[in-house]
Amino acid sequence: MSIQARRERERAERERAIIAAARELAESEGWEAVTTRRLAAEIEYSQPVLYSHFKGKDAIMAAVAVEGCADLAVDLAAARAAATDPRRAVAGIATAYAAFAERRPALYDAIFTLPVDLSFGTKETPVELARAFAELAQTLRPFAGDDDLETFTETFWSGLHGLVTLMRNGRLRRDEHERRLAILVDRFTRLG
Amino acid sequence: MSIQARRERERAERERAIIAAARELAESEGWEAVTTRRLAAEIEYSQPVLYSHFKGKDAIMAAVAVEGCADLAVDLAAARAAATDPRRAVAGIATAYAAFAERRPALYDAIFTLPVDLSFGTKETPVELARAFAELAQTLRPFAGDDDLETFTETFWSGLHGLVTLMRNGRLRRDEHERRLAILVDRFTRLG
DNA sequence: CCAGAACTCTAGCACCGCTAGCCAATCTGC
DNA sequence: GCAGATTGGCTAGCGGTGCTAGAGTTCTGG
């Protein structure tokens, strides 16, 4: 019985190790450096063990993405908590969002842009992402006006996401980044 | 002399054929189906011929992207021309933008999300994309207020881009799409 | 103690982007 | 008109990818 327990514990540890290795490799060298062979070498097991834990490489990336959601939620919550008034709260959370994307591009990509098998439109959203979204929604609540809060939040979020992704791909002038953020915040915090 | 001319003409035709094949394949089966082997088979030449026209697969994708920019510019111009008043013009161009992204996802990806070697932040922007951007800017001009028009346009554009990409990746509720577009337009067309 | 189950590994498949080097057709100068 | 240089396309292959079949080893329960 106890042996069984140890086995399961070791298995769980190994799964954590896989996710951690994937995340570290992606953050330090980008996702294109994350191959199943390198991952296997990193955890000091052979390739096929990866497939006894995850359905495929996509599933590993999805696991990393879910972890990343938790980090994002923490950052956003901190930004919201630090704000002194509603409008500054929106500015702060927007800055925090952009900073997260810039500081952890690989993680951000895993969550939002890579075609990973995470369909969190409406059904099985990972709870970590729901928390991040809720932080945004709470911050925006005073400015939603007549619009549905969730829809309003989705729209603002899309604005942030667009700014972040277009800039990273070199489609926007980098030096205007803060000005664009300010415009977005300004337009979404007008009352009436 | 004339032989030389024929040669160059045939070469140019072949280059067009490569781009067309890449585009069609991407639009019908997605970019993951566009491999150099399939492309070569499509144009009925061997693989290495592709590399005598383009530096690599990325360059082929970039060429498709540039073509796509022209299409996008046409759609946006038509939407702007069809509008009766400034506010409706913004709504119309936003709808046209979203429709383009939905109707031609592969093309849209090539232009905006795939890591293709098109650095059109500020320097060598393809003229086709500049046209599309200018359409947006002209439409938004009445609503920029004190903000720099280019920066303002970039921000609005990012909003559209975020809506489009997040929805396609299943990160947004599909049935709220039009409502989100309306919110974005509303927030960017308030005067004062 | 041993048969069977559970687990991990080696080896390999089919595919990818890309390129070296050969070979035939063409052009050039005599 | 013809030898030699040049061009242009081809075959074949390199080193990589995600993934898996099947062999071998270790552990477990009777």
At A1, the pLDDT band (50, 70, 90 cuts) reads: very low
Domain co-membership, B49 together with B112: no
Domain count, chain B: 2
Interval A24-64: pLDDT, tens: 999 999 999 999 999 999 999 999 999 999 999 999 999 99
Distance from CA of B189 to the nearest CA of A (A): 9
Q: Is the pLDDT of residue B58 over 70?
A: yes
A170 pLDDT exceeds 70?
yes
Q: According to the 3-state scheme, what is the secondary structure of B118-154?
A: CCCCCCCCCHHHHHHHHHHHHHHHHHCCCCCHHHHHH
Both B46 and B62 in one domain: the answer is no
Separation CA A137–CA B67 (nearest Å):
39
Q: Assess whether A135 and A44 both reside in one domain.
A: no
Residue A191: its pLDDT value, please? 87
Report the pLDDT averaged over residues B110-124: 71
In a shared domain, residues B49 and B67? no
Whether B7 and B29 share a structural domain? yes
pLDDT at B51 exceeding the cut of 60: yes
Residue where one domain finishes, among candidates A53, A72, A89 = A53
Burial of residue B92 (number of CB atoms within 10 Å: 0-12, 13-18, 19+):
buried
Q: Could B159 and A154 be called an inter-chain contact, meaning their C-beta atoms sit closer than 8 Å?
A: no
Domain that holds residue B4: 1-53
As ranges, strand C nucleotides with an atom below 7 A of a protein CB are 7-12, 15-21, 26-27
Write down the mean pLDDT value for chain A: 92
CA of A127 to C1' of C5 (A): 38
* Residue whose structure tokens are 């199943």: A36
Q: Which residue of B has its CA nearest to A118?
A: B170
* Residue B120 predicted with pLDDT over 80: no
Residue A169: pLDDT above 90?
A: no
Question: Domain of A90: which CATH number?
Answer: 1.10.357.10
Contact at 8 Å (CB) between B83 and B142? no
* Residue A52 to residues A4, A15, A47, B16, B92, Cα–Cα distance (Å): 17, 10, 10, 46, 51
CATH code for position A4:
1.10.10
Same domain, B94 and B18: no
Q: What is the pLDDT of residue A123?
A: 55
Q: Are residues A76 and A164 in the same domain?
A: yes
* Of the candidate ranges A2-6, A81-85, A87-91, B175-179, the one whose mean pLDDT is the lowest: A2-6
Instruction: Give yes or no for residue A6 having a pLDDT over 80.
Output: no
Written as six digits, the tokens of A179 are 């000005």
CB B64 within 8 A of CB B110: yes
